[in-house]
Amino acid sequence: MGLNHTHDPQARSWVESANRPGADFPVQNLPFAVFRRARTQEAFRGGVAIGDEVLDLGALAASPLLSGEALHGARLCALPTLNDFMAQGPSAWRALRHALFALLEDGVDEPRRQAARACLLPQAGVEFAVPARIGDYTDFYTSIHHARNVGSLLQPDRPLTDNFQWIPIAYHGRASSVVVSGTPFRRPMGQAMAAGAPAPVYGPCARLDYELELGVFIGPGNPQGRPIALAQAEEHVFGMCLLNDWSARDIQFWEMAPLGPFLGKNFCTSISPWIVTLEALAPYRLPFERPPLDPQPLAYLEEKSNREQGVLDIQLSVCLETQRARVDKTPPAQLSHTSFRHQYWTVAQLVAQHTVGGCNLQPGDLIGTGTISGPAREEAGAIIELTRGGREPLALPNAEQRAFLEDGDCVILRGWCEKAGAARIGFGECRGEVLPAR
């Protein structure tokens, strides 16, 4: 997806909050979510963020402001999930996004502006739902820095598995426990084996962790038995959100021999409500490069456009708000800051790999990128990396310490893109609070 008029960094909106410095949702972004007015029993429907407002696509579809393919897309977005709109593909996504840009850009005539203003609601007065009916959720493992950091805790002499640099590794997660940002969850129960213990014990997770990830929502699917080629993979990606793959490390490490994650991962996955489209992310593409001495991708994971612009430079941060900090009204502590550009595999490669054996993806399926960690310690995407397996607890600004997450802790993920010559766009936040085990 190349650059076009919707990426113009000089473009402004008549919605003044969209023009504030550092705003996540300028007119160049226009991410999608599913919402309703808070404390009502209204039907959920699709909306688009502009500044600190939500453009109600249900109301917009009932107005005379859109026509043609854009109107059809808005009507599909007026449903309780975005699946049917996701299934339409890039042409439909672009038609609606460009029509919304034209409607919200400064300079639109006053009658259209007033009609559109009637479709706006303040974000502070709405509640969100998971934006799609997620049929399947797959989580990848694609940061070589994360793999080395965690692998060195388990096997110091051999932190990377033999396959990591050859294949995007993944496991099938649990779609039923994917929740929208702001939804609290219970500390999980399970079995764990302490080092040197004669037998495992059952009880609350003692080594609860977060994982800083991005989520990838699938648009059009593929028939079973027909893989998606790397060159066409991004045509099947509707957009991206923030994702926190909460992890019970003590339960996970005990149960993972010989199969993959199970109870250590399936109790909760949090996602941000806003899905940023690939078109909005176009100014932030970078070449995909591998160190010359590393194995290069096999032919089915190698392609010219992926090499030229397959990487996305998305800035990411993790903050921790403890229960004491909330009581004292002190700001959350930033734990790490990194970029998605450090991942070992691109989004297109994840989609191609997922389908190469014949697996059929469906609209609304969710793919996790895996924990996103950079090369420096302060760029780690999980607390197990930051604390070296809990052996070196973090000192927080309010004099608290954390080796792993405690009850009452709230983890806040944020994402944004910015550089000279392009409009800053953001993902909002993904927030989740740990409640005591039941």
Active-site residue, 7 included: no
pLDDT digits (tens, 9 = 90+) for 268-297: 999 999 999 999 999 999 999 999 999 999
Residues 13 and 154 in one domain: no
Q: Which of 69, 94, 129 is the last residue of a domain?
A: 129
Torsion of CA 198, 202, 204, 205, to 10 degrees: 50
Structure tokens at 388: 């070296």
Residues 72 and 163 in one domain: no
Residues 393 and 333 in one domain: yes
Structure tokens at 409: 């802790």
pLDDT digits (tens, 9 = 90+) for 351-397: 999 999 999 999 999 999 999 999 999 999 999 999 999 999 999 99
Handedness of CA 292, 298, 299, 301 (dihedral sign): negative
In this predicted structure, what is the pLDDT of residue 220?
98
Residue with tokens 């002499």: 157
Cβ-proximal residues to 21 (8 Å cutoff; 6+ apart), any chain: none
Residue with tokens 């993790």: 318
Q: How confident is the model at residue 2 (pLDDT cuts 50, 70, 90)?
A: confident
Residues 47 and 176 in one domain: no
The whole-angstrom distance between residue 106's C-alpha and the CA centroid of its chain comes to 30
CATH number, domain of 88, equals 2.30.30.230
In this predicted structure, what is the pLDDT of residue 154?
87
In this structure, are residues 237 and 218 in contact, taking their beta carbons and an 8 Å threshold?
yes
Burial of 195 (0-12, 13-18, 19+ CB in 10 A): exposed
**Angle at CA of residue 332, ends 327 and 179, nearest 5°:** 95
User: How many domains does the chain fold into?
Assistant: 2
What's the average model confidence in pLDDT over 41-50? Answer: 98
Residues 114 and 170 in one domain: no
CA distances from 372 to 153, 161, 313, 341 (A): 18, 18, 12, 9
Distance (Å, whole) CA 106 – CA 166:
48
What's the average model confidence in pLDDT over 313-341? Answer: 98
Residues 147 and 113 in one domain: no
Q: How confident is the model at residue 47 (pLDDT cuts 50, 70, 90)?
A: very high
pLDDT digits (tens, 9 = 90+) for 115-174: 999 999 999 999 999 999 999 999 999 999 999 999 999 899 999 999 999 999 999 999
In this structure, are residues 137 and 175 in contact, taking their beta carbons and an 8 Å threshold?
yes
Residues 116 and 150 in one domain: no
Torsion of CA 215, 56, 1, 240, to 10 degrees: -10
187 SS3 class: coil
**Angle at CA of residue 176, ends 258 and 380, nearest 5°:** 60
Q: Which of 79, 111, 129 is the last residue of a domain?
A: 129
Handedness of CA 281, 284, 288, 293 (dihedral sign): negative
Residues 261 and 148 in one domain: yes
158 CB neighbour count, 10 Å cutoff = 10
Q: Which of 112, 129, 146 is the last residue of a domain?
A: 129
In this structure, are residues 366 and 175 in contact, taking their beta carbons and an 8 Å threshold?
yes
Residues 52 and 193 in one domain: no
pLDDT digits (tens, 9 = 90+) for 87-103: 999 999 999 999 999 99
Structure tokens at 267: 């109790």
Residues 258 and 210 in one domain: yes
The pTM assigned to this predicted structure is: 0.98
In this structure, are residues 318 and 415 in contact, taking their beta carbons and an 8 Å threshold?
no
Which residue from 284, 287, 286, 311 is spatially nearest to 421, judged by alpha carbons? 284
**Boundaries of domain holding 99:** 5-129
Residues 171 and 247 in one domain: yes
Q: How confident is the model at residue 214 (pLDDT cuts 50, 70, 90)?
A: very high
In this predicted structure, what is the pLDDT of residue 422?
98
Active-site option among 145, 146, 236, 342:
146
pLDDT digits (tens, 9 = 90+) for 62-90: 999 999 999 999 999 999 999 999 999 99
In this structure, are residues 30 and 120 in contact, taking their beta carbons and an 8 Å threshold?
no
pLDDT digits (tens, 9 = 90+) for 9-18: 999 999 999 9
Q: How confident is the model at residue 1 (pLDDT cuts 50, 70, 90)?
A: low
When the pLDDT of each residue in the chain is averaged and rounded to a whole number, the result is: 97
Q: How confident is the model at residue 193 (pLDDT cuts 50, 70, 90)?
A: very high
Residues 85 and 146 in one domain: no
Provide the 8-state DSSP code for 259.
S
Q: Strands (DSSP E) along 181-275, which ranges?
A: 185-186, 189-192, 201-204, 208-209, 212-218, 237-244, 247-248, 269-271
Which residue from 114, 127, 351, 379 is spatially nearest to 219, judged by alpha carbons? 351
